[in-house]
Chain A
Amino acid sequence: MTFLLKPKLHHPNLPTNALGLTRRDYEGSVSTLCAGCGHDSISAAIVHACFEMSLQPHRIAKMSGIGCSSKTPTYFLGASHGFNSVHGRMPSVLTGANLANKDLIYLGVSGDGDSASIGLGQFAHSIRRGVNMVYIVENNGVYGLTKGQFSATADRGAKSKRGVMNSDEAIDMVSMAMQLGATFVARSFSGDKAQLVPLIQAAISHQGAAFIDCISPCVAFNNHEGSTKSFDYVRAHNDAVNSLDVITGRDEIIVDYAPGTLEMVKQHDGSVLALRKLAADYDVHDRIAAQAWLSGRHAKGEIATGLLYVDLDPVDLHASLRTVDTPLNELDETVLCPGAAMLDRINASLR
């Protein structure tokens, strides 16, 4: 980490987006994580994704739990409201925030300790309910802030920095998210920004529960020989099923790829996912086949990445609850309070 404050000045010719904002307008304060931390790359990818999509920073709410990953919302989107809640409980706080105002973008940032252990239940139930959100788990297989204990996503047989072997089975949050009905599931690697940025953009434009498991090596406690979450290990075993471009503009889409290798996927918000297949037999719309495929890769020790599943007709929690179009936090007593006349009728029915 650095103790230098970020200067407010920037180069006058920094590129701007459709809102006239520069990338600097999407940054937060200086990271206090360890130098080289994978999480900082994810923060940078979030900044990049939001800048490119020309999102209004104040229309995004950043939510997190407790841990290294949950600290990161301070380091991006400084003009957005953020909420660093309690350990493992980001999903419920995010759910509540989302219910209060359906018009904002909800970005939930969590870690493997936060979401796969203490918060496993809340992770599962927020996905089940179809909360319209982007849920990113910055997954390093280790507890960083408390100095190197295994987390629940550490692979069986992985070695800790102190040389201890992990004997517990790993929780695969991607498989869980699929089984629990997430309508957008992806896995990526903090070291692969070219893959991660479009996945974040696609997840943001997806109008349902979007889950991204992002492997993010911990340089302090889990980047050694024998770890299955180290930079070297992940690079060697990264098996991308597809590569993605997100097209958000209204331009005519012209593609020039061999038939069968590129799929254009139109989402409800109008954005188009240009999906280039890398694994010929992988169908990103077939949840059951995808689950089987992923299990097969996992058994071989490979880490399947990319957009793993997308449902083009997501039903979000607001749709299930049939809430009104106006955000609930904007309704006043004229709408909400039934008034004295109604109360008289109620009184009469109670005699």
Chain B
Amino acid sequence: MQPLTAVNDFVIKFANVNGSGSASANTLFGKSILRMGVVATPRNIFPSNIQGLPTWYEIRVSEKGHIGCRGGVDLMVAMNPQTWDEDLKSIEVGGYLFYDSTKALPPSKFRKDISVIGVPLTEMCNEAYTDPRQRQLFKNIMYVGALAALLDMDIATIESLIGEQYKGKDKLIQPNINALHMGRDWALKHLQCPIGLRIQSSDSVGNRIMLEGNSAAALGAVYGGATICAWYPITPSSSLAEAFQNWSARTRTDAVSKKRNVAIVQAEDELSSIGIVIGAAWNGARAFTATSGPGISLMQEFLGLAYFAEIPAVIFDVQRGGPSTGMPTRTQQSDLLSAAYASHGDTKHVMLFPEDPNECFQFGALSFDLADRLQTPIFVMLELEIGMNERLCAPLAWDDAKKMDRGKVMTAEDLQAGKQFGRYLDVDGDGIPYRTLPGTHPTRGAFFTRGTTKDRFARYSEEGHDYVENMDRLLKKWDTAKTLVPQAIRRNADEPTQAGVIYIGSTSPAMDEAVDILANQGIALDLLRVRAFPFGKEVAEFIAQHEQVFVVEQNRDAQLRSLLVNELDIDPRKLMKVLFYDGTPITARFIAGAISAKATPQKVVPFRKVVS
């Protein structure tokens, strides 16, 4: 057996028990690698549980900067007896197993084709501490210390991070550093350090930042001018509303009065959340809710109202595994159809697909301009993968010259000057009518908002022609939306090719890596990362320019492909499905395998020949 050797290029996975305090130790470990200038991408794989069930924390270390999920494990830190067998099995041949060797295990519990590293963590803790909670928590820090020795990490970096982590609770700093050294010293004394895997200081991180997409989206809402947030707790979106609360506490408190420029309501359910958002936006404030698939299901009736009565609203949908309660702590891209066509009757809704926290921030802010401009709900479609995991991304940027686009709102002056007001009158030919806010003018501009059919002056109507005119104008507005939403981003292969790939959101890093793997196999692919629905004309052009287009997405029913077929009138046979939906993040290995099986250079035949 040849042990794996790699510098700054491996996957380490921690198997823990939920509620054991492992998360902060694991985060500390991940952050230390980043501080050494090496790209490290953590992923939490957690159960729908508070205490007792298995939880994993995976870190992909990549000098080349790959941040997508790789698949496989090179070093397993097996701290959970419950999942021992499964964890052991997942280690790559030649990989390493790190475990607590306090209690002897029979040889049948190990593998011969891996290196086994035992550290008597429990024994050391029991000797050093008497308090049971301390024994538990310091055991975690101790394994970080041992790993630091095994991977040849810079101990000063870890020490300074501990200092930052416990800033304000200073008396915790030294005990943690002591535990760190206990683990490290034991390893240096009893084990051969370093092992084949090593972390070496580098400068591949650059000025990038690390944060969760949910937090970034919430910060985007702050920068976008949101003043009202109504939400109902649901994994994986709760941390978005909570982050908004935290960012607001920091940035939205009036210096003099100490009062808040924001109102955050934890509602009784998702129906109430969206109702509050719609009421607030109707009254001219920027409002949003954060939810996940089940919440979108509950909001359907209100979303139809907002579409038909033309009220702005922003909905952050942090997608998880569906249907029903599904996999609440796993990731998917499976709410596309339920959001795109939410509610009964003919409806279409704008969606944005951020790829990482940076775009969560950008789109988080942009969504409020779009909602006001288009007077319609805007869905920001996050995924658990980017929402609840910290991800390395470009620093957030803001242009101070930027003003909020409040859209077409008539002022008291407009009304006083006698400007004609028809709430559903298409004055500018872009399908977007003007609105007035309650309280604007004593005698002009009042109207009645309703979900029933109305004429262009908002008067109740049961006339077919009023209905058709209104529905057709909404389609015109939909066309206007195509010109306002973020365009798809195209990246062509180094050589001309007839094959293309379309994908969205968190698939991005895995796709970047897969395209390199495939290029090495002689399969050249042009890439198109779609960033919004409705699709701009660049999407139709891309499909038209390629013989074969793979649509890579993380759901069972090829929902993105359905939208492409449906909205762009594409022949379904032209769009090849590449689907991944087991709830874990899609990997480059999977994408490369799936595409090369369908399109090796030899197998690529012009589309017309295939179907003839």
Q: Please give the residue numbers on chain A whose beta carbons come within 8 Å of chain B beta carbons, in ascending order.
A: 56-59, 61, 63, 73-74, 78-86, 89, 91-101, 103-104, 121-122, 124-125, 129, 317-318, 321-325, 328-329, 331-333, 335-340, 342-343, 346-347, 350-351
Q: In whole angstroms, how far apart are the Cα atoms of A73 and B395 in the complex? A: 50
Instruction: Kindly specify which of B180-188, B272-280, B321-329, B373-381 makes contact with the partner chain.
Output: B272-280
Instruction: Report yes or no: B404 in contact with A333, Cβ–Cβ below 8 A.
Output: yes
Task: Given the known inter-chain contacts A97-B279, A125-B268, A340-B398, please indicate yes or no for A86 contacting B211, CB distance below 8 A.
Answer: no
Q: In whole angstroms, how far apart are the Cα atoms of A339 and B280 in the complex? A: 24
Q: In whole angstroms, how far apart are the Cα atoms of A218 and B448 in the complex? A: 25
**Closest residue of A by beta carbon distance from B440:** A58
Instruction: Report yes or no: B442 in contact with A58, Cβ–Cβ below 8 A.
Output: yes
Instruction: Report yes or no: A325 in contact with B223, Cβ–Cβ below 8 A.
Output: no
* Chain B residues whose C-beta falls within 8 Å of the C-beta of A103 in the assembled complex: 439
Instruction: Report yes or no: A96 in contact with B283, Cβ–Cβ below 8 A.
Output: yes
Binary per-residue interface labels of chain B (392-404) against chain A in the complex, 1 for a CB within 8 Å, 0 otherwise = 0001111110111
Kindly state whether residue B263 has any CB partner on chain A within 8 Å.
yes
Task: Report, nearest first, the 10 A-B pairs whose CB atoms are least far apart.
Answer: A96-B279, A92-B275, A100-B285, A81-B438, A96-B280, A93-B279, A100-B283, A329-B284, A96-B276, A350-B209
User: Which residues of chain B (42-57) have a CB below 8 Å from chain A?
Assistant: none
Task: Given the known inter-chain contacts A101-B438, A339-B398, A351-B209, please indicate yes or no for A82 contacting B448, CB distance below 8 A.
Answer: yes
- Shortest CB-to-CB span from A126 to chain B, Å, is 9
Instruction: Report yes or no: A339 in contact with B400, Cβ–Cβ below 8 A.
Output: yes
Task: Given the known inter-chain contacts A100-B228, A125-B267, A328-B261, please indicate yes or no for A92 contacting B446, CB distance below 8 A.
Answer: no
Instruction: Report yes or no: A328 in contact with B263, Cβ–Cβ below 8 A.
Output: yes
Instruction: Report yes or no: B451 in contact with A104, Cβ–Cβ below 8 A.
Output: no
* Chain B residues whose C-beta falls within 8 Å of the C-beta of A98 in the assembled complex: 279
Q: In whole angstroms, how far apart are the Cα atoms of A63 and B279 in the complex? A: 9
Kindly state whether residue B89 has any CB partner on chain A within 8 Å.
no
Instruction: Report yes or no: A346 in contact with B396, Cβ–Cβ below 8 A.
Output: yes
Task: Given the known inter-chain contacts A92-B267, A100-B228, A336-B252, please indicate yes or no for A83 contacting B449, CB distance below 8 A.
Answer: yes
- B interface, by DSSP: helix, strand, loop or mixed? loop
Q: In whole angstroms, how far apart are the Cα atoms of A84 and B451 in the complex? A: 7
Instruction: Report yes or no: B276 in contact with A328, Cβ–Cβ below 8 A.
Output: no
* Chain A residues whose C-beta falls within 8 Å of the C-beta of B283 in the assembled complex: 61, 96-97, 100-101, 104, 329
Instruction: Report yes or no: B275 in contact with A122, Cβ–Cβ below 8 A.
Output: yes
A92-B272, A351-B210 are known contacts; what are 12 more A-B pairs with Cβ within 8 Å? A89-B302, A93-B278, A96-B280, A96-B282, A98-B279, A100-B282, A122-B272, A124-B268, A125-B272, A336-B225, A336-B261, A343-B398
Kindly state whether residue B265 has any CB partner on chain A within 8 Å.
yes
* Chain A residues whose C-beta falls within 8 Å of the C-beta of B436 in the assembled complex: 81
Q: In whole angstroms, how far apart are the Cα atoms of A333 and B302 in the complex? A: 28
* Chain A residues whose C-beta falls within 8 Å of the C-beta of B443 in the assembled complex: 58, 79
* Chain B residues whose C-beta falls within 8 Å of the C-beta of A97 in the assembled complex: 279-280, 282-283, 438
Instruction: Report yes or no: B260 in contact with A324, Cβ–Cβ below 8 A.
Output: yes
Q: In whole angstroms, how far apart are the Cα atoms of A98 and B441 in the complex? A: 18
- Shortest CB-to-CB span from B302 to chain A, Å, is 6
- Shortest CB-to-CB span from B364 to chain A, Å, is 13
**Closest residue of B by beta carbon distance from A101:** B283
* Chain B residues whose C-beta falls within 8 Å of the C-beta of A79 in the assembled complex: 442-443, 446
Binary per-residue interface labels of chain B (246-280) against chain A in the complex, 1 for a CB within 8 Å, 0 otherwise = 00000110100111111111011101111111111
**Closest residue of A by beta carbon distance from B458:** A82
Most buried by B among A92, A323, A333: A92
Q: In whole angstroms, how far apart are the Cα atoms of A103 and B272 in the complex? A: 22
Instruction: Report yes or no: A104 in contact with B279, Cβ–Cβ below 8 A.
Output: no
Kindly state whether residue B222 has any CB partner on chain A within 8 Å.
yes
Q: In whole angstroms, how far apart are the Cα atoms of A168 and B252 in the complex? A: 49
Kindly state whether residue B301 has any CB partner on chain A within 8 Å.
yes
- Shortest CB-to-CB span from A336 to chain B, Å, is 4
Instruction: Report yes or no: B438 in contact with A61, Cβ–Cβ below 8 A.
Output: yes
Kindly state whether residue B586 has any CB partner on chain A within 8 Å.
no
Kindly state whether residue B133 has any CB partner on chain A within 8 Å.
no
Most buried by A among B210, B227, B271, B273: B227
Instruction: Report yes or no: B279 in contact with A95, Cβ–Cβ below 8 A.
Output: yes
* Chain A residues whose C-beta falls within 8 Å of the C-beta of B252 in the assembled complex: 336
Instruction: Report yes or no: A81 in contact with B449, Cβ–Cβ below 8 A.
Output: yes
- A interface, by DSSP: helix, strand, loop or mixed? helix
Instruction: Report yes or no: B398 in contact with A74, Cβ–Cβ below 8 A.
Output: no
Q: In whole angstroms, how far apart are the Cα atoms of A95 and B228 in the complex? A: 11
Q: When the two chains form the complex, which single residue of B251, B257, B397, B451 contacts A338, counting CB atoms closer than 8 Å?
A: B251
Instruction: Report yes or no: A93 in contact with B268, Cβ–Cβ below 8 A.
Output: no
* Chain A residues whose C-beta falls within 8 Å of the C-beta of B227 in the assembled complex: 100, 328-329, 331, 336
Instruction: Report yes or no: A101 in contact with B449, Cβ–Cβ below 8 A.
Output: no
- Shortest CB-to-CB span from A14 to chain B, Å, is 17
- Shortest CB-to-CB span from B345 to chain A, Å, is 13
* Chain B residues whose C-beta falls within 8 Å of the C-beta of A91 in the assembled complex: 272, 275
* Chain A residues whose C-beta falls within 8 Å of the C-beta of B403 in the assembled complex: 332-333
**Closest residue of A by beta carbon distance from B404:** A333
Binary per-residue interface labels of chain B (424-439) against chain A in the complex, 1 for a CB within 8 Å, 0 otherwise = 0000000000001111
Kindly state whether residue B207 has any CB partner on chain A within 8 Å.
yes
Instruction: Report yes or no: B449 in contact with A324, Cβ–Cβ below 8 A.
Output: no
* Chain B residues whose C-beta falls within 8 Å of the C-beta of A58 in the assembled complex: 438-443, 446
Instruction: Report yes or no: A332 in contact with B446, Cβ–Cβ below 8 A.
Output: no
Q: When the two chains form the complex, which single residue of A74, A99, A317, A323 contacts B448, counting CB atoms closer than 8 Å?
A: A74
**Closest residue of B by beta carbon distance from A335:** B261
Q: In whole angstroms, how far apart are the Cα atoms of A339 and B223 in the complex? A: 7
Instruction: Report yes or no: A100 in contact with B267, Cβ–Cβ below 8 A.
Output: no
Instruction: Report yes or no: B264 in contact with A321, Cβ–Cβ below 8 A.
Output: yes
Q: When the two chains form the complex, which single residue of A78, A124, A337 contacts B223, counting CB atoms closer than 8 Å?
A: A337
* Chain A residues whose C-beta falls within 8 Å of the C-beta of B351 in the assembled complex: none
Q: In whole angstroms, how far apart are the Cα atoms of A102 and B91 in the complex? A: 60
* Chain B residues whose C-beta falls within 8 Å of the C-beta of A346 in the assembled complex: 219, 396
- Shortest CB-to-CB span from A228 to chain B, Å, is 30
Instruction: Report yes or no: B275 in contact with A323, Cβ–Cβ below 8 A.
Output: no
* Chain A residues whose C-beta falls within 8 Å of the C-beta of B230 in the assembled complex: 92, 95-96
Instruction: Report yes or no: A322 in contact with B260, Cβ–Cβ below 8 A.
Output: yes
* Chain A residues whose C-beta falls within 8 Å of the C-beta of B492 in the assembled complex: none
Task: Given the known inter-chain contacts A74-B460, A340-B400, please indicate yes or no for A99 contacting B261, CB distance below 8 A.
Answer: no
Kindly state whether residue B452 has any CB partner on chain A within 8 Å.
yes
Instruction: Report yes or no: B251 in contact with A318, Cβ–Cβ below 8 A.
Output: no
Q: When the two chains form the complex, which single residue of B209, B254, B277 contacts A96, counting CB atoms closer than 8 Å?
A: B277
- Could you jot down 24 A-B contacts, CB within 8 Å? A58-B439, A58-B443, A63-B279, A81-B437, A92-B230, A92-B272, A95-B275, A96-B275, A96-B280, A100-B228, A100-B282, A100-B285, A101-B439, A104-B439, A121-B268, A125-B268, A321-B265, A323-B259, A324-B259, A328-B228, A329-B283, A333-B225, A343-B396, A346-B219
Binary per-residue interface labels of chain B (277-307) against chain A in the complex, 1 for a CB within 8 Å, 0 otherwise = 1111111110100000000000001100100
Task: Given the known inter-chain contacts A100-B228, A343-B396, please indicate yes or no for A86 contacting B451, CB distance below 8 A.
Answer: yes
Instruction: Report yes or no: A318 in contact with B284, Cβ–Cβ below 8 A.
Output: no
* Chain A residues whose C-beta falls within 8 Å of the C-beta of B226 in the assembled complex: 336
Most buried by A among B261, B441, B452: B261
- Shortest CB-to-CB span from B207 to chain A, Å, is 7
Task: Given the known inter-chain contacts A79-B443, A80-B438, A343-B396, please indicate yes or no for A337 contacting B268, CB distance below 8 A.
Answer: no
Kindly state whether residue B450 has any CB partner on chain A within 8 Å.
yes
**Closest residue of A by beta carbon distance from B285:** A100
* Chain B residues whose C-beta falls within 8 Å of the C-beta of A323 in the assembled complex: 259-263
- Shortest CB-to-CB span from A337 to chain B, Å, is 5
Task: Given the known inter-chain contacts A83-B279, A93-B276, A333-B403, please indicate yes or no for A324 contacting B261, CB distance below 8 A.
Answer: yes
Instruction: Report yes or no: A84 in contact with B259, Cβ–Cβ below 8 A.
Output: no
Q: In whole angstroms, how far apart are the Cα atoms of A342 and B400 in the complex? A: 11
* Chain B residues whose C-beta falls within 8 Å of the C-beta of A104 in the assembled complex: 283, 438-439
* Chain B residues whose C-beta falls within 8 Å of the C-beta of A101 in the assembled complex: 283-285, 437-439
Kindly state whether residue B447 has any CB partner on chain A within 8 Å.
yes
* Chain B residues whose C-beta falls within 8 Å of the C-beta of A80 in the assembled complex: 438, 446
* Chain B residues whose C-beta falls within 8 Å of the C-beta of A328 in the assembled complex: 227-228, 261-263, 280, 285
Instruction: Report yes or no: A100 in contact with B257, Cβ–Cβ below 8 A.
Output: no
Instruction: Report yes or no: A73 in contact with B448, Cβ–Cβ below 8 A.
Output: yes
Q: When the two chains form the complex, which single residue of B219, B223, B265, B395 contacts A129, counting CB atoms closer than 8 Å?
A: B265
